[in-house]
Structure 1
Amino acid sequence: MPLTFTLDPAVTPALRDGILDLWTDVSNAGGSVGFVAPVTPEEIRPELVKHLAAMAEGRTRLLVGHDEAGNVAATAFFSFNTHRLMKHWVWLYTVMVHPKHQGQGYGRDLLAAAADAARGFDGTAAIRLTCRGGQGLETFYGSCGYREVGRVPGAIRVAPGDDRDDITMLLTLA
């Protein structure tokens, strides 16, 4: 069953808890969404609160995908540039699909829904995102139309002796 995507959903306790559970599960499955396993919801909660505060201030927008049971199964956050020379592109971050739904095309669906949403943002011509090297994410994003436009070697320290590249990807919207 396909996911149902909603841009700017009402932030209810159920949505907040669903995002927190998703973020925890993705992190603990090895996903590169700002944390390294093992992680608890309490460790992630302060970062989620920052995302929600940015949404309340209008600096960030949320795209959420629900599965057929109504559970939060995927998310992507848009962050808008405030610099007058960079308002024509947005950042996409905290891009997640629940591990139990991976391998079903939902990641591609999420990125397509994100591109569709961004096309509706006034003056937005491109989406940028970053990903952690060493997991093949740049290949996945490349297969979804993104191209690598920058790489900082060893910028992400996952663990002592395990430094990964920080890769910047760009999708030009047509």
Structure 2
Amino acid sequence: MALTFALDPSVDPALRDGVLDLWADVSNAGGAVGFVPPVTREAIRPELVKQFAAMSEGRMRLLVGRDEDDAVAATAFFSFNTHRLMTHWVWLYTVMVHPKHQGKGYGRDLLAAAAEAARGFEGIEAIRLTCRGGLGLERFYGSCGYKEVGRVPGAIRVEPGDDRDDITMLLPLARLD
């Protein structure tokens, strides 16, 4: 069964808790979403609060995918540029699919829904994201149409002695109008 996507859902305790659970589960399964295992919901909460605050200020938007049980199963946050020379593209952050749903094509569905949503944002021509090297994520994003446009060797320190590349990917958005 496919996920149901919603852009800018109402932020209520159920959504907050669903995103916290998703983020913790993805992180603890080894997902590269800003934390390393083991991590708790309480350790993640301050980062989520920052993202929700940015949403309330209009600097971020949230795309949520829900599964057949209406549970939060996938997310992607859009972050808008404030620099006047870079307002034609958005960042995509915290791109996650719950581990129990991986391998079902939901990651591709999430990225397709994100591209469709971004096409509806006034003046947006591309999506940029970064990913952690060493996990093959750049191959996955590449298979979804993203191109590697930059790499900083060793920029992400997962732990002492384990430095990973910070890889920047870009998806130009073809206008459908």
Same fold (TM > 0.5): yes
Shift of 1:159: 0.7
* 2:81 alignment partner in structure 1: 81
1:25 has 2:25 as partner: yes
TM-score by length of 1: 1.00
Tell me, in whole angstroms, the C-alpha distance in 1 between the residues paired with 2:167 and 2:3: 28
Matched, 1:96 2:135: no
Query: d(CA) in 1 for partners of 2:115 and 2:156?
Result: 26
Measured in 2, the distance between the counterparts of 1:24 and 1:154 equals 25
1:129 Cα offset (Å): 0.1
Structure 1: stretches of 5+ with no match in the other structure: none
- Shift, 1:3, TM fit: 0.1
1:18-167 → structure 2 map (5 Å cutoff) = 18-167=18-167
Query: For this pair of structures, how many residues does the alignment match?
Result: 174
Give the whole-Å Cα distance in 2 for the aligned partners of 1:51 and 1:103: 27
Query: What amino acid maps onto 2:69 in structure 1?
Result: A
Q: TM-score when scaled to structure 2?
A: 0.98
Give deviations 1:57-113, integer Å, cap 9, x for gaps: 000000000000000000000000011110000000000000000000000000000
The answer to whether structure 1 residue 6 and structure 2 residue 15 are counterparts is: no
- Corresponding letter in the other structure for 2:144: C
| In 1, Cα distance between equivalents of 2:65 and 2:141 | 18
- The percent of aligned pairs where both chains have the same amino acid is 83
Q: Where has structure 1 moved over 3 Å in runs of 4 or more?
A: none
Q: What is the RMSD of the two structures over their aligned residues, measured on CA atoms?
A: 0.3
Equivalents in 2 of 1:89, 1:153: separation in Å?
Answer: 24
CA apart distance, 1:15: 0.3
